Structure 1
């Protein structure tokens, strides 16, 4: 079983869309995606600097657009789809599109709304997120509770992402126990926490207008690692995940239980392959960062089909 995964916010880098624009049909596709999301994806994906694309309103549409383009190109190159898909945080919108639940136009419209709503929610209180690397999980969670911080992402054993006020995150960095490293993330707010509650209702209203289908192949939810077989349930989870933790650790446990034999992360790739190498040791993994990586990913897909 080959699993394809779509990354979340923070995976974008300046100019990362440039090589994809050289592929036939991609500029026109990005123009359509830009209209749907109300973001100039071509400009921001090629010339904008790191601070500009850190803006949640811009970052989220960029990431989802890149993932959908890379996934489409991979399917065309390999002449088959992955056996299952999943998305980390905002990447779940691209995963729903890949699984046939929503159209690419609706995915881009929703991610535009999601990004704006989450940016507005983040502007109400200065907040952020930091990766906590190392340490025993119970001890780390106890420290977060003591500092009034929320575990927003459970990525893999030894890596929990804390979220909350900038003051409390600074306190975390100062009080981190020996052997624990605290690394601030390039995001603009405490995503997947109660700070995002105002964005939930905005997204819920937008989702209510979306036509959906049942998943065409296995789709895992980053809320709890469960397989989602109902289109409405998949959309409901898109809404509630905005203010609830991402359980990528449980997703990887589910991949292993399902008999995963290969893992592909589509653009803008890298972070999830890194987690896979730690959480699913021995499973072949390919990061599709540029079109040059498509052949290796297609080889992995087709090797599984033989």
Structure 2
């Protein structure tokens, strides 16, 4: 069973879409998406600098758009029926919703545009951030977070937990991490997937009410608890709540293992999730589709395992 996974915020790098836009079909698709949301994603994917595409309001639409470009190539030629399912990490769940048919391309982009803007606004209310904690004892880490007023935001599996909260507390954690762990500050401007995003949730609930939602045509797993979701409206409700609740990617990988995953294909901008899969799903082959040059390997994986 081949499963497609869609990455989250932080996976973007300056110019990462340049190889894609060398092909007319992808440039036309991205131009159409840009027109849909009123944002020049062609420029952001090619010439915008690191600070520009780090902005949450830019990064999130850019990442989802990149995933949609990749999906258009992977699902071409009737390959949809050959896939075992799809899942996304954080904002990548919007890409997954589009890939599974829950949202149209235009509605997915409209939703992520609103999500990015709302989360950037919420992040500006208090100076917060996120750090990855690698290694150490999970119980000890959670006790430390509680003492410092921090929150676990992403349980990524493979001994990695992303934590979030106010910057002085994150600095304190980095200065005195739990035994056997190291703390890596992340280049994101907000405590995503925590209570600090409450205002974004309220806004997105209103946005979600305007979307056209259908049930998934591919198996679709949620970050909330790693379970498969068969209802489109339920999945969209989870998308809204996910903004202020932890991402349980560890549970998602556990569900994929139980379902019998035999291969993982990560959509652009790829790399982070196949890295987690190599630790959390040992022995499962992976393909990271970073540029169109990686598409043949991904297509071969789908066709060989169908």
In 1: Cα distance, 2:305 partner to 2:291 partner: 22
Q: Counterpart of 1:219 in 2: which secondary structure?
A: coil
Q: Distance in 2 between matches of 1:38 and 1:57?
A: 12
Superposed counterparts of 1:144-293, under 5 Å = 144-293=145-294
- Residue 72 in 1 paired to residue 69 in 2? no
Match of 1:24 in 2: 24
Unaligned runs of 5+ in 2: none
Partners of 1:102 and 1:207 in 2: CA distance = 11
Alignment partner, residue 303 of structure 1: 304
Q: Give the 3-state SS of the residue equivalent to 1:246 in structure 2.
A: coil
In structure 1, runs of 5+ residues without a counterpart are none
CA distance in 1, matches of 2:242, 2:79: 32
**Aligned equivalents of 2:77 and 2:19: distance in 1?**
16
Moved over 4 A (4+): none
More deviation, 28-37/63-72: 28-37
Q: What are the superposed Cα offsets for residues 226-252 of structure 1, whole Å, 9 maximum, x if unpaired?
A: 101001001101100000000000000
Conservation of the 8 A alpha-carbon contact between 2:216 and 2:231? yes
Deviation at 1:35, TM superposition (A): 2.4
The alpha carbon displacement at 1:186 in A equals 1.3
> 1:11-48 deviations in whole A, cap 9, x for unaligned?
00000011111223222221221122332101111001
Shift of 1:115: 0.3
TM-score (norm 2): 0.98
> Using the alignment, how far apart are the partners of 1:82 and 1:46 within structure 2?
30
TM-score w.r.t. structure 1 length? 0.98
CA contact (8 A) 2:151 2:163 kept: yes
Partners of 1:287 and 1:199 in 2: CA distance = 31
For the aligned residue pairs, the C-alpha RMSD in angstroms reads 1.1
Q: Is the 8 A contact 2:144 2:178 kept in 1?
A: no
Partner Cα separation in structure 2 for residue 285 and residue 60 of structure 1: 24
